[in-house]
Amino acid sequence: EVQLVESGGGLVQPGGSLRLSCAASGFTFSSHWMHWVRQAPGKGLVWVSRIKSDGRSTSYADSVKGRFTISRDNAKNTLFLQMNGLRVEDTAVYYCASDPDICTGGGCYSNFNFWGQGTLVTVSS
Amino acid sequence: DIQMTQSPPSLSAFVGDRVTITCRASQSISSYLNWYQQKPGKAPKLLIYAASILQSGVPSSFSGSGSGTDFTLTISSLQPEDSGRYYCQQSYKTPYTFGQGTKLEIK
């Protein structure tokens, strides 16, 4: 059974830092791209960041670029999100999601096939 | 960034009805379009990827179609467990973007 379990959320003051973790099991972690997606209370889904299966390529939403860093430890099947310079508007449930990046003759199709349960980050003074 | 616009924002239908949700991209995204279902307090669940491919384990009552800028998610016969919020998402290029969601209620 595929499992993604996030941890590390909590209450932090503006300007503070948090490190989120996502422990993966039940699939070949090292062959999947991984993403972070967030959802502010009562709002829609927003993509935050992604990392290639080997960790050598990363991308970020403009809203977090320069403040957040995605990384992974394939030996420990764990994804991370280091969040610095947190702002009130970063308050959200943060989900990790796996991406099999399925390739066919027509191209390689990214999708979020499995999600964790989410961890709540609250930025407030 | 590619903007994704869903319609309608909400809808209500009877069990057994055929339901269609549309999603429009601000530029052509070929077939790089995914659909998700989210229930309150839960993580999203992948339904359709590459515009029309049904994710394993998803009921065949769900189907997706479209390419370029216009896409549809269809539920052929609505069931009570289909209530929730539905999101489209483009995977053509980063930043990946989602539609604002469609809330589906059962009458």
| Chain B residues within 8 A of A45 when measuring between CB atoms | 36, 38, 44, 87, 89, 98, 101
Does the pLDDT of residue B34 top 80, yes or no? yes
Nearest-angstrom CA–CA distance, B54 and A113: 11
Instruction: Determine the average pLDDT of the residues in B9-20.
Output: 98
Task: Give A7-58 pLDDT, tens digit per residue.
Answer: 999 999 999 999 999 999 999 999 999 999 999 999 999 999 999 999 999 9
Q: Which residues in chain A touch residue B50, judged by CB atoms under 8 angstroms apart?
A: 102, 104, 106, 109, 111
- Tell me the shortest Cα–Cα distance from B76 to chain A, in angstroms: 23
Taking 90 as the threshold, does the pLDDT of residue A108 lie above it? no
A117 contacts in B (CB within 8 Å)?
Answer: 42-43
pLDDT tens per residue, range A75-98: 999 999 999 999 999 999 999 999
Q: What's residue A105's pLDDT?
A: 79
Mean pLDDT, rounded, of chain B: 97
Q: Which two tokens stand for residue B48?
A: 């359709």
pLDDT digits (tens, 9 = 90+) for B50-88: 999 999 999 999 999 999 999 999 999 999 999 999 999
Instruction: Flag whether pLDDT at B24 surpasses 90.
Output: yes
Tell me how far apart the alpha carbons of residues A90 and A11 are, in angstroms, rounded to a whole number: 11
- The pLDDT, as a whole number, for residue A54 is 95
* Chain A residues in contact with B57 (beta carbon < 8 A): none
In a mutational test of the B interface, the residue from A6, A32, A45, A52 whose CB has the highest number of chain B CBs within 10 Å is A45
What's the alpha-carbon Rg for chain A, to the nearest Å? Answer: 14
- Among B42, B53, B91, beta carbon nearest to A110: B91
| Banded pLDDT at B25 (limits 50, 70, 90) | very high
Residues A36 and A96: their CA atoms lie apart, in Å, by: 5
Q: Chain B: residue nearest A115 by CA?
A: B43
Q: Measure the N-to-C terminal CA separation of chain A; round to a whole number of Å.
A: 40
d(C-alpha A103, C-alpha B55), whole Å? 15
DSSP class of residue A21 equals: E
Say which residue the tokens 């003759």 belong to.
Answer: A105
Longest CA–CA separation in chain B, Å? 38
